[in-house]
Chain A
Amino acid sequence: MLKIEDLSVRYFTKKGVVYAVDNVSLEVRKGEALALVGESGSGKSTLGFAIMRIVPPPGRIVGGRIILEGRDIMGLREEEMREIRGSKVSMVFQDPFTTLDPLRRVNDIVAEVMIEHGVDEREARERAIHLLRRVGIPEKLIDAYPHQLSGGQKQRVAIAAAIAMNPSLLIADEPTTALDVIVQRQIMDLLDEIRKEMSMILITHDIALALERADRICVMYAGKVMEVADKGMIMKEALHPYTKGLLSSLPRLLSREWPSSIPGTPPDLREPPKGCRFHPRCSKAMDICREQTPDLFSVDGRLVSCWLYGR
């Protein structure tokens, strides 16, 4: 239901142009949960913002198409885009402490989403209360201010606001990173329940979380897609060296081996490496990797951007 073609996003900062997202193509199927996995700086959050066209300045989408439910939203005017945001596509952010306006009550925040999209005020308020209950906010906190809620509760409010208009796609950008482990599980369970009604993009740096909760996994590195595959396939065997590296960095409960880390650091995206972005850190790097950027090759029902698998 979402098709991204050759999308590029750049940040035009005073210290140079950052190639945050570079020619990314991706698909999200109806009803699935796609995990966007990568380190910080991989471009995953920027991609999320780009889908909703809310990339904050000095960032800008510089090329590509985004086709949402058959419609190319790149060509839409801002008012039309605003109608879509919050109603067709929604986003839950990483830090609920800063993304909930502290000066407003939570039921107002949720109700406002609906009111802005044309719902009658009385009905919007009723639905807001209903939604807050549904996500697990206790009755007495329904008209509270954000600072009176715990981190987990704040995130629930954010989720309620995001699903208020029954969007077709929910983008969750690191929804649990700012929360503690037990709360993380609760929030993920809530998201699991919600995504039965919609498609979801889960942005995370935690590949274990992705394997646990998503249907398909898309691995990103330095602004480009490295591998896209079903969860099962990745768990059985990852193809891309980077994905392999990510998996082997997971501590294993029953194994005696120490988890290994990927040597090196992510590149400065103002001057990304020529050719394959990962080649400076790749143990399997070949000459061609240093020269040419690999396309996304289709291998065994999945996509890999690596010269090991391509021609």
Chain B
Amino acid sequence: MGLARYIGVRTLLIIPTIMILYTLVFFILRILPGNPVLAVLGTKNIPEEQLRAIMERLGLNKPIHVQYFEYLANLLRGDMGVSLVIQGRPIARDIIERLPATIELSISSIIVSLVLGVSFGYIAARRRGKIIDSSIRVLGSFLYTIFIPWFGMLLQIIFGIWLRLLPIGGRITPGIAPSGPTGFVLLDSLIQGDLYAFLDSLKYLILPSITLGIMLSGPYMRLARNNMIKALDSGFSLAYRARGIKEDKIVRYSLKHAMIPVVTYTGLQFALLLGGAVLTETTFSWPGIGTYLVEKVFYRDYPAIQAVVIVFAFFVGVISLIVDIIYAYIDPRIRY
């Protein structure tokens, strides 16, 4: 079949997945009791007509299925509606502005997680049965119980306030941000050759990505360890040894085998990552979608909240697609 064709087929499959998530989100937010407009405007007594007028303006009094398709049509045009709170401000624009920050944080956190998880898992696999193996396994099992904001704040206190080594909030020193094409500060600063901005933004990225990365690394440790052991013990490792292949090459091959479940897991737990990202961003005042969501929650800006949730649903679908593709790349059995 080949990799290209697999990618094509798999990408097509994403459409029904996203549609389903959209439907789900749409209905969940509407089924629940409570009039969103009232909630925003408070319980001030608004005359019946005025209330109806507002709702009509927002299209909230149309039958549900009409709203469903209208919103979908708008979405496809890139229109996510306008904020209820900040009059007339298009939500889509806000989201696109904030998106790169969240993606930057997510990717660097995943990298931290992977590096931490796989290396610890590797160490545990190589020293199987010894104390360090058990400790790493226990660590991996319980790492996720640490409350993310707590851990983040402790890091802020230690590194930001006591040691004064790293900044405690924000994404980059104000005023330095490169006005680059991508919106990814790290990339833009590189594109513009602004090394100072690059290093500066890196400094801001360290604590949040370490926080989120460590919290997510637990399962990777276990996965990497168990699968490395399986690979090292398996028939093909023995066969490699019998052919006189060097041991560190064999370890490398085993690692490749172990990566398959690790990659799969990344896709499956992307949802967890998003949740953690929201908390991390809030803790570190990282200007991403997470903080956007929290702000909108605070102001009860329902259209914005709905839009954000849909964006999240979209990302969950996209990430599972990417994971499947990477999986197919690593494991040829899938695509042939």
Question: Do A and B touch directly, given a CB cutoff of 8 Å in the complex?
Answer: yes
Q: Which of B239, B246, B256 contacts A100 (CB 8 A)?
A: B239
Question: Is A101 in contact with B242, judged by CB distance below 8 angstroms?
Answer: no
Q: Do A103 and B238 touch across chains, with their CB atoms under 8 A apart?
A: no
* B77 proximal to A (CB < 8 A): no
Cα A120 to Cα B300 with chains together (Å): 70
Q: For this complex, into which size category does the number of interface residues on chain B fall?
A: 20 to 34
In the complex, what distance in Å separates the CA atom of A285 from the CA atom of B249?
52
Q: Is the CB of A101 within 8 A of B240?
A: yes
Pair A82/B246 contact, Cβ less than 8 Å: yes
Query: Please, which residue of chain B has its CB at the minimum distance from the CB of A164?
Result: B243
Contact A87 B244 (CB under 8 A): yes
Closest to B241 in A: A54
Question: Cβ of A113 and Cβ of B244 under 8 Å apart?
Answer: yes
Determine if B244 and A103 form an interchain contact, defined as CB atoms under 8 angstroms apart: no
Q: Which residues of B contact A161 (CB under 8 A)?
A: 243
- Alpha-carbon distance A56/B233, docked complex (angstroms): 8
Binary per-residue interface labels of chain A (71-89) against chain B in the complex, 1 for a CB within 8 Å, 0 otherwise: 0000000000011111100
Q: Verify B235–A95 contact, CB threshold 8 A.
A: yes
A98 an interface residue at 8 Å Cβ cutoff? Answer: yes
Q: List B287-336 residues whose CB lies under 8 Å from chain A.
A: 330-333, 336
Q: Which residues of B contact A83 (CB under 8 A)?
A: 244
**B218-275 with Cβ < 8 A to chain A:** 233-236, 238-246, 249, 253, 256-257
Interface size class of A (residues with CB under 8 A): 20 to 34
Q: How far is the CB of A73 from chain B (nearest CB, A)?
A: 13
Q: How many A-B residue pairs lie within 8 Å, measured between CB atoms?
A: 75
Shortest distance from the beta carbon of A62 to any chain B beta carbon, whole Å: 20
Q: Which residues of B contact A101 (CB under 8 A)?
A: 236, 239-240, 253
A158 located at the interface, meaning its Cβ lies under 8 Å from any Cβ of chain B in the complex: yes
Q: Contact partner of A147 among B240, B242, B249, B336, CB < 8 A?
A: B336
Contacts of A85 in B (CB 8 A): 241-244
Q: Which residues of chain A in 92-118 are interfacial with respect to chain B, using CB atoms and an 8 Å cutoff?
A: 93, 95, 97-104, 112-113, 116-117
A16→B308 CA distance, assembly (Å):
60
Complex Cα spacing A112 to B236, Å: 14
Q: Which residue of chain A has the shortest Cβ distance to B231 in the bound complex?
A: A101
Q: A99 to B243, Cβ gap below 8 A? A: no
B239 and A99 form a contact (CB under 8 A) = yes
Contact A86:B235 (CB < 8 A) given known A103-B253, A103-B257, A103-B331 = no
Cβ of A86 and Cβ of B331 under 8 Å apart? no
Q: How far is the CB of A5 from chain B (nearest CB, A)?
A: 22
Classify the interface of chain A: helix, strand, loop or mixed.
mixed
Q: CA separation between A102 and B234, bound complex, in Å?
A: 12
Question: Are B333 and A102 interface neighbours, CB within 8 A?
Answer: yes
Interface of chain A residues 136 through 177 with chain B (CB within 8 A): 145, 147-148, 158, 161-162
Q: Secondary structure of the B side of the interface?
A: helix
Chain A: minimal CB distance from B61 (Å): 59
Could you say which residues of chain A place their CB within 8 Å of the CB of B331?
A: 102-103
Does A305 count as interface, using CB distance less than 8 angstroms?
A: no
Min Cβ gap B257→A in Å is 7
Chain A 30-67 per-residue mask, 1 if CB under 8 angstroms from chain B, else 0: 00000000000000000000001010100000000000
How far, in angstroms, from A93 to B235 measured CA to CA in the complex?
9
Given the complex, which residues of B lie within 8 Å of A97, measured CB to CB? 235
Q: Which chain A residues lie closer than 8 Å to B239 at the CB level?
A: 91, 93, 99-101, 158
Residues of B contacting A158 with CB < 8 Å?
239
| Distance of A259 from chain B, by nearest CB (Å) | 33
- In the assembly, what is the distance between CA of A85 and CA of B246, in Å? 11
- Are B235 and A112 within 8 A (Cβ)? no
Contact A54–B238 (Cβ < 8 Å)? yes
Please give me the residue from chain B that is nearest to A56 by CB atom: B238
A270-303 to B contact mask, C-beta < 8 Å, 1/0: 0000000000000000000000000000000000
**Which residues from 147 to 176 on chain B have a C-beta closer than 8 Å to any C-beta of chain A?**
none
A54 and B242 in contact (CB under 8 A), knowing A98-B235, A101-B236, A101-B253? yes
A199 in the interface, Cβ–Cβ < 8 Å? no
Using CB atoms, name the residue of chain B closest to A94: B235
Q: Is A243 located at the chain interface by the 8 A CB criterion?
A: no
Contact B245 A99 (CB under 8 A): no
Q: Beyond A86-B243, A116-B246, is A99–B333 a contact (Cβ under 8 Å)?
A: no
Instruction: Name the residue in B240, B331, B333, B336 with the highest tally of chain A Cβ atoms < 10 Å from its Cβ.
Output: B240
Distance between A169 CB and nearest chain B CB, rounded to angstroms: 12
Task: Tell whether, in the assembled complex, residue A103 and residue B332 are in contact, meaning their CB atoms are under 8 Å apart.
Answer: yes
B2 to chain A: closest CB distance in Å? 13
Q: How far is the CB of B239 from chain A (nearest CB, A)?
A: 4
Q: In the complex, which residue of chain B has the Cβ closest to the Cβ of A162?
A: B243
* Any B CB within 8 A of the CB of A90: yes
- A104 cross-chain contacts in B, Cβ below 8 A: 253
A-B contact pairs, 25 of them (CB 8 A): A56-B233, A56-B238, A82-B244, A83-B244, A86-B245, A87-B244, A90-B243, A91-B239, A93-B235, A93-B239, A95-B235, A97-B235, A98-B234, A99-B236, A99-B238, A100-B236, A102-B236, A102-B331, A102-B332, A103-B257, A103-B331, A117-B244, A145-B332, A147-B332, A147-B333
Counting from the closest, the 4 A-B pairs by CB-CB distance are A98-B235, A86-B244, A85-B244, A86-B243
